[in-house]
Chain A
């Protein structure tokens, strides 16, 4: 079946060997163990766990807050990328470097810092609570934590595309008398839509699985602010491994679905518009 191709550059079998061995050990073996164990649980047990009201609610919280955070990040990520590419201003390099902070800062640190910041007597929380919004131990708090974690995704995927955007596209619109807003909406934005969506989808997928930054600020009240990864932890602590696996399967399916949807959208654009 496998045709032996002659490779000009040496090292094919060596690198293939390392890659395959490593992937097997680190990824495939654990994944196989997980699937093997899960397959022993049976459909009845699976549905029993997944359809439980508390579990279902955790999915809802995870999904809803991740979506909200992804949307917020899409808006601000676009703004950050725009400002960085289009304007010169003092402190721009620090500004640019800061965007990656959520990648570099351990999530647990972010978690406790955000919780203290948005707690009722916190520096920012007091304003929220004064306005009648519980910013900690609520879905608002979870969303804030997920926004923090997801900031770099959209900004970093839009930034290079915007930077390489052909300036004559905008000039062409200007020649037709388009206003800056019309130019942005009809010419620039369609060019940025693809990186914007992929950045937002990555932020969303990350949000669904995020644990460290959320667990402190969530408050973890069943039926209210319990997120899916936390529920897995809870099930593990009760040594209910099957339930943990069942919850995990749905989470993974959700993430894959999002990435799959993104992928098919990009493919559609390539097929339909040749981009």
Chain B
């Protein structure tokens, strides 16, 4: 069985709430997929429908080419890691991990071998006889992971796998989980609302919003080519501008006439005066409205033509202060029209390149 997951026209409502609105999704074998979206966007519902814990109102779910809508959750070959791990408190670590195999009536000897291998994999060899309540959050997560893997599923589903862990341990576990999954080569889908987590762990990110899939792609693709306003807004930090034609280099706008756009901090170059700017003539005059120390850089709020923009500035350069005048060059803007996004580069750069 090849673990390729395919969702077709999935609809799901809870009461009057539309949790899934025509969800279509194809997931390739062996990849780690991050379902990313704000809370209430319907990402967990998608995961639970794949698992069989929820039933779609309409639409089809295929796993490995087989339609699984009418197959019981336990027979879909899926391992599931719950948000709070759902470990069985009255079973030891080993008993927890062995649970799935015991249900399948696997021979005792085989169970022992498998549990040995898994406790080894998750680094809990010496904790086999402890109970879940005696473990740390990170250890519990690893037990849940091992338990889900024990019956050798084709597909691993993880619901907010890091939500219940301290910030410090979380970072460590992300790297560990990514490595462990890749080592096993098991197709995995995890749900998260944290974009850093999605970017760090996933091979592909699926952006979910209001029960609908906005975009699917690698983290780089999602970041560089957001296809919808929602994605552009949700990923990274973004400032909305209602009409970008007020800025130098973008006066022409676009034929369609809609001039709404998004500017990210990294699209801005902020200088104290002309001497710091590569293209002073194409730069705007601005006023510094706020400077915030961010550890490795300074975040600068700057007002240009009545519009507040956000940018960053290296700490190596002379510091700016609130109320200072500044020069601002806008490299590019995401523009939206008719639900499509387009990246507009500053015209000055195009002219520049022609001259050189």
Contact among A175, A186, A272 for B78, CB-based, below 8 A: A175
A-contacting residues of B (Cβ < 8 Å)?
51, 53, 72-75, 78-80, 82-84, 86, 88-91, 99-100, 103-104, 131-134, 147-148, 151
**Cβ–Cβ contact A175 & B90, under 8 A:** no
- Among residues of B, the one whose C-beta sits closest to the C-beta of A176 is B100
**Cβ–Cβ contact A177 & B75, under 8 A:** yes
**Cβ–Cβ contact A166 & B100, under 8 A:** no
In whole angstroms, what is the CA distance A275 to B100 when docked?
A: 23
B-contacting residues of A (Cβ < 8 Å)?
166, 168-169, 171-178, 182, 186-187, 190-191, 193, 272-275
> Would you give the shortest CB distance from B170 to chain A, in whole angstroms?
20
Contact among A176, A186, A187 for B151, CB-based, below 8 A: A176
In whole angstroms, what is the CA distance A176 to B86 when docked?
A: 13
**Cβ–Cβ contact A175 & B75, under 8 A:** no
> Would you give the shortest CB distance from B158 to chain A, in whole angstroms?
12
**Cβ–Cβ contact A172 & B80, under 8 A:** yes
In whole angstroms, what is the CA distance A189 to B134 when docked?
A: 21
A176-B100, A176-B103, A274-B131 are contacts. A171–B86 as well, Cβ < 8 Å?
yes
In whole angstroms, what is the CA distance A171 to B82 when docked?
A: 9
**Cβ–Cβ contact B99 & A175, under 8 A:** no
**Cβ–Cβ contact B131 & A172, under 8 A:** no
30 sample A-B contacts, Cβ–Cβ < 8 Å, listed by A number: A168-B83, A168-B86, A169-B86, A169-B88, A171-B53, A171-B73, A171-B82, A172-B88, A173-B99, A173-B103, A174-B53, A174-B74, A175-B53, A175-B73, A175-B79, A175-B80, A176-B100, A176-B104, A177-B73, A177-B74, A177-B75, A187-B88, A190-B89, A190-B91, A273-B89, A273-B131, A273-B133, A274-B132, A275-B89, A275-B133
- Among residues of B, the one whose C-beta sits closest to the C-beta of A179 is B103
A176-B99, A182-B103, A275-B133 are contacts. A191–B89 as well, Cβ < 8 Å?
yes
> Would you give the shortest CB distance from B330 to chain A, in whole angstroms?
48
In whole angstroms, what is the CA distance A92 to B148 when docked?
A: 38
Q: Which residues of A contact B78 (CB under 8 A)?
A: 175
Q: Which residues of A contact B75 (CB under 8 A)?
A: 177
A175-B79, A176-B103 are contacts. A274–B86 as well, Cβ < 8 Å?
no
In whole angstroms, what is the CA distance A169 to B147 when docked?
A: 13
Q: Which residues of A contact B99 (CB under 8 A)?
A: 173, 176, 186
Q: Which residues of A contact B83 (CB under 8 A)?
A: 168
Q: Which residues of A contact B89 (CB under 8 A)?
A: 190-191, 273, 275
Q: Which residues of B contact A174 (CB under 8 A)?
A: 53, 72-74
**Cβ–Cβ contact A175 & B103, under 8 A:** no
In whole angstroms, what is the CA distance A186 to B95 when docked?
A: 11
> Would you give the shortest CB distance from B276 to chain A, in whole angstroms?
56
**Cβ–Cβ contact A168 & B84, under 8 A:** yes
In whole angstroms, what is the CA distance A224 to B232 when docked?
A: 84
- Among residues of A, the one whose C-beta sits closest to the C-beta of B104 is A177
In whole angstroms, what is the CA distance A177 to B71 when docked?
A: 11
Q: Which residues of B contact A173 (CB under 8 A)?
A: 99, 103
> Would you give the shortest CB distance from B209 to chain A, in whole angstroms?
25
Which 8 pairs show the lowest CB-CB distances between chains A and B? Answer: A177-B74, A274-B133, A176-B100, A190-B90, A168-B86, A172-B86, A273-B131, A168-B82
In whole angstroms, what is the CA distance A259 to B302 when docked?
A: 71
> Would you give the shortest CB distance from A81 to chain B, in whole angstroms?
19
> Would you give the shortest CB distance from A29 to chain B, in whole angstroms?
43
- Among residues of B, the one whose C-beta sits closest to the C-beta of A174 is B73
> Would you give the shortest CB distance from A199 to chain B, in whole angstroms?
18
Most chain B beta carbons < 10 A, residue from A168, A175, A190, A193 = A175
